[in-house]
Amino acid sequence: MPPPRHGGQGNVRQMDDTGGPQAWFESLPVITRYWFGGALAVTVMCNFGFLPIMKMVWTWDRVWENFEIWRFLTPFLFVGKFDFNTLMALYMLQSYSNRYEMEPYNTGGGGGTADYAFALMFGAISIVVTYPIMGMLLPAPPVFARTLMMFVLYVWSKRHPTAPTSIWGVQFQAIYLPFAQIGLSIAMGGMFSDMVHGIICGHLFYFLVDVVPIVYQKDVLHTPQFLIDQIGIGAYVPPANNTAAGNNVWSPPGRVNPPSDAAGPSRGHSWGSSGQRLGSG
């Protein structure tokens, strides 16, 4: 599956401009860095036999009977066996995660990293909960990395619907990109049920965050306070290591960037007669 191109800066060019792969990797936003790094590491180790693939996939029976709780995490990290589609999925994972983490829907954390962490938590939980239903409708693999990636892609496309995108030189707006990816996967003979699953869960998140507050005037999704306490408001700023009198002094995460949008009445949203679209860019 070929990577889509955008009007923004390219990842390969970023890697060259920042001084190599390590500097490029460290320049990624914190959650994208951990998710992409974990996915790359788990996928490589599984393909080279260092980790058993069957220990990485989702199965509720093993979680319930054998308390294999790591399966709540590993299905979102294993992308698949080495092939072109897996490489493109890894590319899109870091690309769209990077883009969305830079400006997610504001659900209480100022439109920053805590809000993105909450979105991923919502996406992961909704994917696991709805997986049995999805499996009855379409054959769905018990790994969720591509599913969560499509969740992020769909929410990003709703957050920035008019952003310019293209696949193989065909230009269109971002709102159509998730469906173009599904069509391309079908045309190339690839699986698409996991992509549809991600879009369904992404639409649920979008509906609860962006539609319900306007149509029903109810604010139902909030970034948990513990995420805000740990990450801060706005973009995450890692602690700075300051040396004073030979001792390391760590500063807390920075509270930076004012909210990029209003996100419901409990976070200062003013309901006017004309209505304000949540997260409009």
Alpha helices in the chain (DSSP H): 11-17, 21-27, 30-47, 60-66, 84-102, 113-137, 145-159, 177-187, 193-206, 212-215, 225-231
On whether residue 261 sits in a domain, the answer given is no
Give yes or no for residue 275 having a pLDDT over 50.
no
User: Does residue 269 belong to any structural domain of this protein?
Assistant: no
Closest CA to 219 of 228, 209, 227, 229: 209
Instruction: Point out the least confidently predicted range of 9-18, 89-98, 249-258, 262-271.
Output: 262-271
pTM, rounded to two decimals = 0.80
For residue 240, the model assigns a pLDDT of: 63
Residue 143 belongs to a domain? yes
Q: Mind listing the pLDDT tens digit for each residue in 221-258? A: 999 999 999 999 988 887 665 444 444 443 444 444 44
Least confident of 9-18, 139-148, 205-214: 9-18
What single letter denotes the amino acid at residue 174?
Answer: A
User: Is residue 244 included in any domain, yes or no?
Assistant: no
* Nearest alpha-carbon partner for 209 in 255, 162, 261: 261
What range defines the domain where residue 67 resides? 5-215
pLDDT digits (tens, 9 = 90+) for 109-130: 999 999 999 999 999 999 999 9
Distance CA 234, CA 225 (A): 13
Task: List the structure tokens of 175.
Answer: 């709102």
And the tokens for 22?
A: 């390590």
Q: How many domains does the chain have?
A: 1
Q: Is residue 210 part of a domain?
A: yes
User: Is 239 among the domain residues?
Assistant: no
Q: What is the CATH number of the domain that holds 24?
A: 1.20.1540.10
